Structure formats: structure tokens, C-alpha cells
Amino acid sequence: MTKERLSGTLAVITGASSGIGAATARALASEGATVVVLARRLDRLTELVAEIESTGGTARAREVDVTDADAVSRVIASIGEEFGRIDILVNNAGFLSNRPAVEASLADWHQMVDVNINGVLNTTHAALPLVTAAVGGARDIADIVTISSVAGRRVPRPESNVYSATKHAVTAFSEAIRRELAEKRVRVGVVEPGVVRSEMTTGDSVGAPDATQGAPLLAEDIADAIVYIVTRPAHAAVNEILIRPSEQTL
Ligand SMILES: NC(=O)c1ccc[n+]([C@@H]2O[C@H](COP(=O)([O-])OP(=O)(O)OC[C@H]3O[C@@H](n4cnc5c(N)ncnc54)[C@H](OP(=O)(O)O)[C@@H]3O)[C@@H](O)[C@H]2O)c1
């Protein structure tokens, strides 16, 4: 049994109804954090909460579309009323549509900008007062972790066009707020996964793992990286983790 390193903390995870977000919620809860899981599919979140609570954890579900700034603001305000602070914010919700520009749907391009950039901005902006409010307690540090991508560091393939642009944007935004928030004792980090097996890469969005790139990562591999970041001692900030499947070259 792991020693619980996050007892007494409150973690909020967006996009927790599947994949990396759900795995992260399980992992943070197993470290003793109370987790509030956000997404649009409330039925999935409710199942996840029941699973976490059946193993002794504490969890809450909140239905929200991260592209709706007012809705995000209301949900974060309700978290503030119940808990008064957010120790760990994980900006994970994302949408991928990898298609050549000449074939792409403009609606998909806009959806990637709305979820992958505006979703991060809506959530971070609403949560910041509660994140800074977490500093000064027993842990005396707070964390914002955003899931960028290998595609936030480079353009892995031409079809990555807008997805890559959105992930570069959140990597840049994270670096800016890292510099601003360091003196407030809020650590800011990005995790940049290569191909991870999830609904995103097994659906019809042409993000499917390339057979020549070997076995994909699992959602739990990324959850591990997030746990590593938020369990460092208060004097150490891990600002960036790039993690690829061993055989991925892109
Ligand atoms: N899979 C990969 O290979 C890979 C690689 C690098 C980075 N990433 C990033 O990792 C993150 C998680 O992806 P994943 O692989 O775990 O994919 P996933 O299983 O498809 O999960 C995406 C999550 O985002 C949520 N979401 C999407 N649109 C939303 C919206 N408008 N409002 C609220 N929630 C929304 C979904 O929940 P609902 O549909 O219930 O709302 C779901 O929980 C994303 O940011 C993705 O870009 C993934």
C-alpha cells in the first residue's frame, strides 16, 4: 500500500470521464487527495466516483463543458464553497482531429481551439484564486499541471496542424504563468505525452497510433508522471515532462 502523500489535498481534474483524466483521478485519490472530476459525461464521472469511493477514496463529480466559461466559473465557485481551495489543478480535457488541412472540417479546428486552449484558459482563470488560496496550509505549495503533447513541442506530422498549434499555445501559456506564479509558491508544469491508448486515439479522429511506432503508452503512464510532479518536496518544481512510447520516433 502506497504511503498517502496527498492526504488533505483537493485536486480538480478536467476531462476525467475517460483516458488520462480518469487514470489521474484514480492515482491522485490513491495518494489520499480528494478529487473533483469534471467532464460532460456525468454518467462516466458518477461511475468513477463510485469506484474511487469503493476503495476508500473521496471524490465528487461535476458536469461541465470546459468551453463554456460561465459554466466553468459556476462549477469552480461551487468547489470553492465546499472546499475553499484547490491544491492541484489538472488541465487535461482535450480534443484531437488530425486531418490534412485541405480535408479538415473548420468546425473541428474551432473545437480544438475551444477545448484545448479556451478550456485551459477558462478553468485556470476561474481556479487561480482558489489555487493561490491553497498555499500557506500544511503543504505550503499548490500545483497547476496541464496536459500538452509531443505536438506542443514540435509538429509531428502535417495533419497535426491545428492540434499542434493548440498544444504549443498551452505550453507557452504555462511557461508564462509559471514565471508569474513562482513567487506565490504555485508550481506550474506541463506533461507532453506521445501516443497514449485512449478514446482519443482509438476513435475516428485519425489520431490512431501508427503501427510503425510500437506499443502506445497507457493512460496510467501519464497519471504516474502527474503524481510525480505533484508529490515533489515543496522546494522542487518539475515544470516539464516529455514522455513517449519507447519506439515512437515522431
Ligand atoms: N491520447 C494521446 O495520444 C495523447 C497524447 C498527447 C496528449 N494528449 C492529451 O491528453 C489529454 C487527455 O486525452 P486522452 O488521451 O485521455 O483522451 P480521451 O480519453 O478522449 O479524454 C478526453 C477527455 O476530455 C474531455 N472533454 C473533451 N471535450 C470536453 C469539453 N468540451 N468539456 C469538458 N470535457 C471535455 C472528455 O470528456 P467528455 O467527453 O465526457 O466531456 C474526456 O474526459 C488531452 O488534453 C489530449 O490532448 C493525449
Q: Which CATH class is domain 10-243?
A: alpha beta
Helix (H, G, I), strand (E, B) or coil at 16: coil
Provide the pairing of β-strand 34-39 with 240-243.
Answer: unpaired
Q: Kindly give the number of the ligand 1 atom that is closest to the alpha carbon of 111.
A: 31
Rounded to the nearest angstrom, the distance between the alpha carbon of 81 and the centre of ligand 1 is 27
CB burial readout 232-247, b (16+ within 10 A) else e: eeeeebbebbebbbee
Q: Where would I find the beta strands (DSSP E) of the chain?
A: 10-14, 34-39, 58-63, 88-91, 142-147, 186-193, 240-243
| Residue 62 β-bridge partners | 38
Q: Kindly give the number of the ligand 1 atom that is closest to the alpha carbon of 40.
A: 41
Rounded to the nearest angstrom, the distance between the alpha carbon of 111 and the centre of ligand 1 is 12
Helix (H, G, I), strand (E, B) or coil at 214: coil
| Active-site residue, 163 included | yes
Rounded to the nearest angstrom, the distance between the alpha carbon of 94 and the centre of ligand 1 is 4
Place of cell 491553497: 134
User: Is there an atom of ligand 1 within 6 Å of 41 CB?
Assistant: yes
User: Is there an atom of ligand 1 within 6 Å of 24 CB?
Assistant: no
Each residue's pLDDT, cut to its tens digit, for the chain (250 residues) gives 456 999 999 999 999 999 999 999 999 999 999 999 999 999 999 999 999 999 999 999 999 999 999 999 999 999 999 999 999 999 999 999 999 999 999 999 999 999 999 999 999 999 999 999 999 887 999 999 999 999 999 999 999 999 999 999 999 999 999 999 999 999 999 999 999 999 999 865 545 556 557 899 999 999 999 999 999 999 999 999 999 999 999 8
User: Is there an atom of ligand 1 within 6 Å of 12 CB?
Assistant: no
